[in-house]
Amino acid sequence: MRIMCTGRLDPAITARAFKKGLDGLLIIGCYFGDCHYISGNYQAKAKLDVARRLYEYVGMNPERLAFRQCSSGEASVFVKIVTEFTEKIKELGPLGAGGDRLESPLLIKKLETAEAVLAGEKIRWVIGKRAPFLKTGNMYGEVFTEHEFRRAADMIIVEETEVQEILAGLRDGARSVKDLAASFSMPVEKVFRHILALKRKGFVVPERIVGRSPLYTLAPKEV
Amino acid sequence: MPADKSDDIRIGVFICHCGSNIAGYLDMEALGTYAETLPNVAFVQRNLYTCSEGGINEIKKAIGQQNLNRVVVASCTPRTHEPLFRSSCGEAGLNPYLFEMVNIRDQCSWVHMQEKEEGTNKAKDLIRMGVAKAALLEPQKPIMSPVFPRALVIGGGISGMTAALALANRGYEVVIVEREGRLGGMLLDLNRLGPSMTDALQLAESTVKAVSCHPKITVFTGSRVTGVEGFIGKYSADIETPTGGKKIDLGVVIIATGARVFVPAGLYGYDAERVITQLEFEPRLKQGIDPSIKSVVMIQCVGARNEERPYCSRICCQTAVKNALLIKEKDPDTKVTILYRDMQMYGVENEEMFRESKAKGIRYVNYNPDRPPQVQAGSVLVYNALLGKDMELPAHMVVLSTPLLSREDSDEVGKLIRVPVDANGFFLEGHVKLKPLDFATDGVFLCGSARFPANIREAIAQGLGAASRASIPLSKGSVVVEPIISVLADMDACRGCGLCVALCPYGALEIQKTDKGRKVKVIDVACKGCGVCAATCYQHALTINSFTDNQIDAQIEAFLG
C-alpha cells in the first residue's frame, strides 16, 4: 500500500488493521536524514515505537508491527527486509493463535482498547512532544533522557489503557466503581481515581445510587 | 458530461499488459474477469500498453461512453505514469483526482516471474485495494498562488554570484547575503584554475564587479539570514546586517553556502609550514615557491574516505595534479611525487591534464591506507606494494590533499529553510537525477559545494542551472500546487491546540482566531502532504486529500477481503 510518507501513518490505523485480522504490518520508510518530507520518518518511528509498547502491554506480539528503512535504490535490502518480516510472521502464525500472549477473542477486544488509546489525546501529545522533551525539555525546562521518556510513555500506556477499558465498560450502561474493579481485576482505588478524573473532565457522570455506591455512566455527548 | 461525484459510483478498471512485462508472468484473463466482480466496477478493459496513445484514447472513450466517474489503471509505477493518466482523465472531463493507480508490475509481475498463480493472486489483492480506495476518492482542485518577483541567494561565492547574475540579467531582483565581509568565497584563496589555468583572482574580480554594479542586485556582506518564513512565491526573510536587521519579501531562495576545507591537524605532521594543505599551497604558488625547495610530495585522501568521512571529495585529485604541473612550469627540475589511493580524474580535460603530468615527469606512487605514508624530516616514507618495500622520497615540502567539508552551520541553515542535509552535512537535493538543483521543498534551489564538493567550473554550471530552475516560478508569476495536501475536514472538532503546528516540517500550519475560537489553518501552497498532522490530530479534524483515514482503512479492509 502506498502512503506519501511514513509520517502519515496514524497509529490508530494500525490498531484497526490488527483488530480486523491483519497478522503483520510492515512499514518501510526512508533512512533518517534522507526523508523527502524532512522529518516524517522520525515522527513515524516515534508513533510506532509507542504503538509497539502498547501492543506488548495489551497482549499482542509487538513483532507484528515493524518499522524498517531502506532507500529506493536498495533492491536487495528491500527484499531482505520483506523476506525476514514474512518469515517472522509465518513463525508467529495467525493473530491470537499462539504467537501472542493473549488468544484471539480476548486479544481482539484488547485491540479495541488499544485503538482508543492510540487515537486519544494523551498518547498523541506524548508522541508529538517526544523530540522537544528529549532535546529542549518540557515547558518547565526539564530535559528527559531516552530512558525517562520511555518510562513516562509506558506509564501513560498503562493509565490510558485502564481509562479506555473503563469507558468501554460503561458503554452498556451504568456501573459502580466496585463492579468495574472486579471485572477488570484492578484495585478499587485505582478505578476510583480514574472515575474521578473522568468525571472532572466531563466524560462520565453519576447516574443513580444503588445501596451505598453511585453508579457511573458515560456523559451524554455535547451537541 | 460525466459527473464528478454522484451516489452511483462507476469505476473503470484498465489493466495493462505492459507488452509482456506483466502479461508474460500473470494470468491477465483471470485478472480481467476478477476485476469485473469487484464492487462499483462498471467497466473493465485490458490493454497491450495503457500508456500508449491507443490506450489513453480507450480510457477517454470509456469515461464518456460508460459514464465512468472513477478510473483505476493497474500497470506500472505511479512515479513515471500517474501524471499522464491523471491528465488524460482531466482531458475527458473527469476530475484528475478521481484516478487511482495500482502497480502490478514493479513489486508484482517482475518479482513473481516464477510464481504465476501467487503473482496473479497478489495482483488481484492490489486491484481490489485500488478499487476500494477509488470508490472513496474525492475531486480536488489545483491550488494557485502568486510569486513575488525577487530571489534570495544565500552565499556570495562563485556559484551564488553566478546564479544571482543570471537571474538579474533576466530582469529579476536578487538579494545576496554573504557571511564574510566581501564577495568571492573560496575563489579568493585560489591561484589558477585547472584545467585551463585561468587566473582565479581575475575571475573573482570581474564577477564581483559585475555583481556589485548590477542595478538589480542588492548585496549584504558580513550578514546572516536569521529567519525564513513562508512558502514558494511568498517568502519573507530576516537578515542581520552590520547596519541592523532587515526584512525582505521574496519568491524563491537559492542556497549557495559552499563548503570549507578539512584542516588535517595531527595528521602527517601537518604544521602549516613545511607540511601544508593544497589550499595553503595555492597562495605560495602564486607568490612563487622558495627556489631552495627542490622536492615536493603530495599525499591524497588525507582525512577522506575513512570511517569518519566515507565520501570522496572528488576535486582534490585534479587540484593536486594542477598544482604539480604549476610547480613543474616554474621549475622543471623540482621533483614532484603524488602518493595516491585511487586517482579521480573524471572528464576529458582532467584526463588530458593527468597524461600531461606524467609526460612532464610527475611521479605517482600508490599507497595502502592500512600502511599510510610517514612524513619525516626532509623525506616521506611510503610502502610500495609493487616493490614490496618502503621507499624514501626526499621532500622539502609536503602538500596534503584534504577533502571539502560541509559548512558547520549547514544543519542550522537547513532547519531555517526547512530543507534536508545528508549524513555528511551537505544539502540534499529533491531527487538525485530528476531534481538535482531543486529541493523537495518548492521554491528552494541549490548549487555549488553546498551540495557536494564542486570545482569552480561545476560551481558556475550549477549556479546557472539553479538560476534557470528558479526563474521558472519567477517568470510564470504564479505557481500551481498539487492539491494532495492537508485539509481541516472538521472545523468544529479542531481545538486550536497547536500540536500539529509544532510538528509540521514545512511550517504549513498556523493557528488563527476565528469567530469559533482558535482554529488551525492550512497554508495550501506550503503543504507537501506528508500527513504528519493528520496522523497526530487527536481530534481527527485534519486529513490528507486522497489519503484520508477512510481511504486507508478501506484499502486494508479490502486486502483482508
**What is the DSSP secondary structure assignment for residue A38, as one 8-state letter?**
T
Asked, as a colleague might, if the bond just before B78 is cis with ω within 30 of 0, I would say: no
Tell me if residue A123 falls in helix, strand or coil: helix
B536 contact residues in A (CB cutoff 8 A): 43, 124, 127-128
Across A37-41, A102-106, B262-266, B553-557, least confident range: A37-41
Are B505 and A33 in contact (CB < 8 Å)? no
- pLDDT tens digit string along B159-183? 999 999 999 999 999 999 999 999 9
- Location of C-alpha cell 536524514: A33
How far apart (Å, rounded) are the C-alpha atoms in residues B282 and B316? 13
The answer to whether B241 and B220 have CB atoms below 8 angstroms apart is yes
pLDDT for position B456: 96
Comparing CB atoms, the residue among A4, A33, A127 nearest residue B531 is A4
The answer to whether A124 and A116 have CB atoms below 8 angstroms apart is no
Assign 3-class secondary structure to B471-513: HHHHHHCEEEECCCCEEECCCCCCCCCCHHHHHCCCCCEEEEE
Comparing CB atoms, the residue among A17, A120, A128 nearest residue B536 is A128
For residues B450 and B323, state if they share a domain: no
For residues B229 and B300, state if they share a domain: no
Whether A35 shows a pLDDT value over 80: the answer reads no
Residue B535 falls within a domain, yes or no?
yes
For residues B115 and B167, state if they share a domain: no
- Substitution target in A8, A32, A136 with the highest count of B β-carbons within 10 Å is A8
Contact partners, residue A12, CB within 8 Å, separation at least 6: A115, A118, A119, B549
Whether A25 shows a pLDDT value over 70: the answer reads yes
Q: How far is CA B344 from CA A62, B192, B320, B372, B456, in A?
A: 48, 20, 11, 19, 16
How far apart (Å, rounded) are the C-alpha atoms in residues B58 and B411? 50
pTM of the model: 0.72
Are A119 and B556 in contact (CB < 8 Å)? no
How far apart (Å, rounded) are the C-alpha atoms in residues B206 and B209? 5
**What are the residues facing B346 on neighbouring strands?**
none
Are B536 and A35 in contact (CB < 8 Å)? no
Are B505 and A120 in contact (CB < 8 Å)? no
For residues B258-264, average pLDDT = 97
Query: How close does chain A come to B483, measured CA to CA in Å?
Result: 13
Query: How close does chain A come to B535, measured CA to CA in Å?
Result: 4
Domain range for B369: 263-402
Comparing CB atoms, the residue among A16, A36, A128 nearest residue B440 is A36
The answer to whether A42 and B503 have CB atoms below 8 angstroms apart is no
Comparing CB atoms, the residue among B421, B544, B556 nearest residue A20 is B556
Let me know the angle formed at the C-alpha of B303 by B298 and B308, rounded to the nearest 5 degrees.
165
Residue B39 falls within a domain, yes or no?
yes
Residue B559 falls within a domain, yes or no?
no
Domains and CATH numbers, chain A: 6-169 (no CATH), 173-223 (1.10.10.10)
What chain A residue is nearest to B125 in terms of C-alpha separation? Answer: A1
For residues B525 and B497, state if they share a domain: yes
Are B418 and A38 in contact (CB < 8 Å)? yes
For residues A154-164, average pLDDT = 93
Residue type, B247: K
Q: Is the dihedral of CA B271, B272, B274, B279 positive or negative?
A: positive
- Location of C-alpha cell 499462539: A98
Among B77, B108, B140, which residue terminates a domain?
Answer: B140
B505 contact residues in A (CB cutoff 8 A): 7, 37-40
Percent of chain B with pLDDT over 70: 99
pLDDT for position B1: 41
For residues B54 and B184, state if they share a domain: no
CB atoms within 10 A of CB A14: 26
For residues B229 and B168, state if they share a domain: yes
Tell me if residue B429 falls in helix, strand or coil: coil
Sheet holding B252-255, edge to edge: B217-220, B173-177, B150-154, B252-255, B444-446
Whether B5 shows a pLDDT value over 70: the answer reads no
0.90 surpassed by complex ipTM: yes
Q: Which is it for strands B335-340 and B295-299: parallel, antiparallel or unpaired?
A: parallel
- What band does B433 get if pLDDT is binned at 50, 70 and 90? confident
Residue B200 falls within a domain, yes or no?
yes
The answer to whether A121 and A129 have CB atoms below 8 angstroms apart is no
For residues B123 and B15, state if they share a domain: yes
Whether B255 shows a pLDDT value over 80: the answer reads yes
For residues B348-373, average pLDDT = 96
Residue B418 falls within a domain, yes or no?
yes
For residues B84 and B163, state if they share a domain: no
Whether B294 shows a pLDDT value over 50: the answer reads yes
Comparing CB atoms, the residue among A9, A120, A125 nearest residue B535 is A9
- pLDDT tens digit string along B514-547? 999 999 999 988 898 999 999 999 999 999 999 9
A20 contact residues in B (CB cutoff 8 A): 556-557, 560
A42 contact residues in B (CB cutoff 8 A): none
How far apart (Å, rounded) are the C-alpha atoms in residues B295 and B195? 23
Residue B247 falls within a domain, yes or no?
yes
B499 contact residues in A (CB cutoff 8 A): 124-125, 128-129
Q: How far is CA B242 from CA A125, A159, B281, B413, in A?
A: 42, 55, 33, 19
**The three grid cell numbers given for residue A133, joined into one nine-digit string:** 522533551
pLDDT for position B2: 44
Q: How far is CA B391 from CA A82, B341, B364, B377, B379, in A?
A: 52, 16, 13, 15, 10
Query: How close does chain B come to A79, measured CA to CA in Å?
Result: 10
How far apart (Å, rounded) are the C-alpha atoms in residues B90 and B97? 9
Tell me if residue A207 falls in helix, strand or coil: strand
Q: How far is CA B451 from CA A48, A74, B254, B416, B440, in A?
A: 32, 22, 12, 17, 14
DSSP string computed for B83-130? HHHHHHHHHTTS-GGGEEEEE-IIIIITT-TT-HHHHHHHHHHHHHHH
pLDDT for position A38: 79
For residues B365 and B451, state if they share a domain: no
What chain B residue is nearest to A123 in terms of C-alpha separation? Answer: B538
Are B505 and A132 in contact (CB < 8 Å)? no
pLDDT for position B7: 65
CATH number at residue B212: 3.50.50.60
Whether B141 shows a pLDDT value over 70: the answer reads yes
Are B530 and A22 in contact (CB < 8 Å)? no
Comparing CB atoms, the residue among A11, A16, A40 nearest residue B532 is A40
For residues A57-79, average pLDDT = 91
Contact partners, residue A155, CB within 8 Å, separation at least 6: none
With CA atoms as reference, report the closest residue to B274 among B395, B189, B394.
B395
For residues B333-357, average pLDDT = 96
Are A119 and B538 in contact (CB < 8 Å)? yes
Q: Which helix (H) or strand (E) holds A194?
A: helix A188-200
pLDDT for position B446: 97
pLDDT for position B40: 97
Are B503 and A43 in contact (CB < 8 Å)? yes
pLDDT for position A137: 77
More confident residue, A219 or A62: A62
Across A202-206, B264-268, B364-368, least confident range: A202-206
Query: How close does chain B come to A208, measured CA to CA in Å?
Result: 31
**The three grid cell numbers given for residue B560, joined into one nine-digit string:** 483482508
How far apart (Å, rounded) are the C-alpha atoms in residues B443 and A18? 41
Query: How close does chain A come to B392, measured CA to CA in Å?
Result: 45
For residues B218-240, average pLDDT = 93
How far apart (Å, rounded) are the C-alpha atoms in residues B339 and B342? 9
- What band does A72 get if pLDDT is binned at 50, 70 and 90? confident
For residues B57 and B172, state if they share a domain: no
For residues A140-160, average pLDDT = 89
Residue B557 falls within a domain, yes or no?
no
Among B140, B173, B206, which residue terminates a domain?
Answer: B140
Assign 3-class secondary structure to A86-111: HHHHHHHCCCCCCCCCCCHHHHHHHH
DSSP string computed for B366-389? E--TTS--EEETTEEEEEETTTTE
How far apart (Å, rounded) are the C-alpha atoms in residues A184 and A166? 8
- pLDDT tens digit string along B271-286? 999 999 999 999 999 9
How far apart (Å, rounded) are the C-alpha atoms in residues B376 and B268? 9
Percent of chain A with pLDDT over 70: 99
How far apart (Å, rounded) are the C-alpha atoms in residues B366 and B282? 24
**What is the DSSP secondary structure assignment for residue B24, as one 8-state letter?**
T
Are B544 and A2 in contact (CB < 8 Å)? no
pLDDT for position B6: 47
- pLDDT tens digit string along B114-137? 999 999 999 999 999 999 999 999
Comparing CB atoms, the residue among B420, B528, B540 nearest residue A33 is B420
For helices B200-213 and B158-169, what crossing angle results, to 10°? Answer: 40
pLDDT for position B420: 84
Among B140, B168, B188, which residue terminates a domain?
Answer: B140
Q: What are phi and psi of B418, to 5 degrees?
A: 65, 50
- pLDDT tens digit string along B74-121? 999 998 899 999 999 999 999 999 999 999 999 999 999 999 999 999
Are A1 and B560 in contact (CB < 8 Å)? no
Are A22 and B556 in contact (CB < 8 Å)? yes
- pLDDT tens digit string along B451-497? 999 999 999 999 999 999 999 999 999 998 889 999 999 999 999 99
pLDDT for position B432: 83
pLDDT for position B442: 87
For residues B303 and B252, state if they share a domain: no
Are A33 and B423 in contact (CB < 8 Å)? yes
- pLDDT tens digit string along B47-69? 999 999 999 999 999 999 999 99
- Substitution target in A38, A50, A71 with the highest count of B β-carbons within 10 Å is A38
pLDDT for position A39: 84
Residue B555 falls within a domain, yes or no?
no
Q: What's the total number of domains in chain B?
A: 4
For residues B86 and B188, state if they share a domain: no
